[in-house]
Amino acid sequence: MKIRYSPARFTAGLFAALIGFWFVFREPGPLDQSPLYAIGPLLLAIGSVVAAIQFSARPRTGVEEMAAPAEIDAWLALVYTGVLIAWLLSNASAFTVSWMGPDTRAASIALLQIVVVYVVISAVLRGRRGKAVLEDERDRAIRCSAARWGRHALIACVVVLLVVLGISPAYKLEWANPPAVAFLLFLGLLLGWLLENAATIVYYWRDRR
């Protein structure tokens, strides 16, 4: 059965996803002690899936025809990577003490929901493209150039962490327990991916000019 595009359903899905994001990022409160705790990730997942399905049925626009598939993927990855980094920074206290504590497990559930939503939307976009050519020589050249920026950002994060840990006296490194160091390395990976996607978008923009 072919799905018909409905602007009302698309808008409703986006609205539900935004409410879900608000629940995920809000300050902890009494709601967390009830079964309604899952309402945020649930709204985020359902709203994003509905919006993605409606988007897949939407007639193509001039912008979508002009933009390369890799550029659209880079925009999606940039947004979700930024959301992940902002969410991790806002919940840093849960990850810098122990990754096995109850606070960390609760935070990991929300993190998993965000990742699942990104995977679902990416799959919908790939299905929307069908058998179209997804990559040519220009796209491969841009991907390689952007990947260098991501690698440089990751190397810079690792070097900074090595210098801080290596030259700081022991009494100033009480914060540098294994969970905290692992958390910083994970942030470094995400920052590298963020810069790679940002570089991809800039390269495509420069190519069109």
Quick: pLDDT tens for 91-123.
Answer: 787 777 776 766 666 667 667 777 777 777 777
**Half-sphere exposure (CA, 13 Å, Cβ side) for 52?**
21
> Quick check: 53 and 3 in contact, CB under 8 A?
yes
CA separation for the pair 202, 193 (Å, rounded): 14
Name the phi and psi angles at 170, rounded to 5: -60, -35
Tokens encoding 7: 């602007």
Where is average pLDDT lowest: 86-95, 149-158, 198-207?
86-95
Q: Report the pLDDT value the prediction gives residue 155, as an integer from 0 to 100.
A: 94
DSSP state of 177: -
Tell me the residue type at 2. K
Q: Report the pLDDT value the prediction gives residue 158, as an integer from 0 to 100.
A: 92
**Choice between 84 and 153, residue whose per-residue pLDDT is larger:** 153
Q: Report the pLDDT value the prediction gives residue 17, as an integer from 0 to 100.
A: 77
> Quick check: 33 and 103 in contact, CB under 8 A?
no
Q: Based on C-alpha coordinates, what's the Rg of the chain?
A: 20
Q: Is residue 187 very low, low, confident or very high in pLDDT (cuts 50, 70, 90)?
A: very high
Tell me the pLDDT tens digit for each residue of 51-72: 777 766 666 555 555 667 788 8
